[in-house]
Every structure is written in C-alpha cells, then in structure tokens.
Amino acid sequence: MKKTQEIRLKSNGEDMDDVLNEATSFSGNMNLSEKDALRIRLLTEETMSMIRTLTGEPELSLSFIGQENECIIRIETDTRMDFMKKEDILAVSSSGKNASAKGVMGKIRDVFETLFTMPADSSFEDFSSSSGLQGMPGDMYSGPFMDTVYWTLSDYRSSVESLDETPDKKERWDELEKSIVSNIADDVQVGVRGGHVVMTISYKIHTEQEGK
C-alpha cells in the first residue's frame, strides 16, 4: 500500500528536527527494519544539507512516499518561481558565484537551483554546469513525479564511468565513492512539474520489513 507523509519547510534549515522526526515516523509507519530506517534518516539528513545551500530560501514541500518495496524522498518547490537569470540570483549570495558545486550533493543542488533560476522558455543546456550536462538522460522523458526529468544520478554515474582516465574523472569518481547518497540511494532524479522544480531520492528496501 502506498503511504505518503508531507511536511512544508523553508531552505533555511530551521525545520531540521521536524523533518527528521517525520522521517522517523514514516519509517515506523512503513514497519521498516532498523537498518532501512537508519538509511532513510541518512538520506534525509543529506537532503536537508543540500536544501540549506539553496540560494533565495524558496519555500518547499518534502514528502516521504512509501510503496511496496521502495521509499522515496521528494522535494518540490511550493510555488511557481519567478524565473530569473542564475547570474542575478548568485550575485546576491555571499560569494557571488556557485562555489558549492563540489561533491555529489553539491552537483545535485546546482541542477536543482539551475532549474528554478533560469529564465522561462530557455534551454537547460545553456545554463547548466558541466556536471549537470553529464547527468542529463540521452532522451528526455517524464517520470511518475515530474513532467520532464533533466538529471539523474544513474546517468551522471554512467557518464563519469565513460570518461577518459584524467584527474577530473578521478575527482568525480572519488566524489561518487565517498557520497552517502551515491552509496545508499538507488537513484536521484531532478526535473520539473508544472513550473515547480522536483527532486526525488529513491531507495529500494533491501531488508525484510518488520512484522511481515
């Protein structure tokens, strides 16, 4: 049976305890094993760390979605954003540049932020960083939670694997190997749905659910 729990939050990180409590409650309602519950909590912590780095403090909704053998953490912008050039919004940040696109979650944050700051009717390719382009699916498609999927962790991993042996490939591969999300999540997708930006982290339940 599908189960969904949702909490609304801002990207300033003040809701961290509430979100982690929601994750614990969700794991209990799903009768997850202690191991799976811990992994959901770790993925939630990584998600919140990414959210805290978003520029402009957009209002968001975070949902925990449980299906038969899978748990999904979904982040979605609450309202349709006023699109603006990414350079403009980054100009008001402390550094004036996108300095935090290091690590796997930094790259995911970069894609998420690109989608809600680029001008309407513009091309993702024109505003994306190289890591964003590396994670683009070969053919755009829709997913169960978004109209268009622009980036996936699985596509990014495959792209890094196909690179020639260079220091850049080594750095990116090291980031993947050290990333909690890369090692625990089965996939991450970032895309849009009706003008909202959506990110999903999917985790397949690997141990038997308690009480089953």
Checking if the pLDDT of 32 tops 60, the result is: yes
Residue spans of the domains in the chain: they are 3-204
Longest dimension (CA), the chain: 53
Question: pLDDT-derived band of residue 80, with 50, 70 and 90 as boundaries?
Answer: low
As a whole number of angstroms, the distance between CA 14 and CA 116 comes to: 22
Give the Cα-Cα-Cα angle 49, 50, 51 (nearest 5 degrees): 90
More confident residue, 127 or 155: 155
Listed in order, strand segments (DSSP E) in 78-128 are none
CB 91 within 8 A of CB 84: no
More confident residue, 95 or 185: 185
3-204 CATH fold: Heat Shock Protein 90 (3.30.565)
As a whole number of angstroms, the distance between CA 35 and CA 7 comes to: 23
pLDDT for position 86: 46
pTM above 0.85, yes or no: no
Percent of the chain with pLDDT over 90: 27
pLDDT for position 90: 45
Look at residue 77 and give its three-state secondary structure: strand
pLDDT in tens, 50-63: 887 776 666 788 89
As a whole number of angstroms, the distance between CA 53 and CA 112 comes to: 11
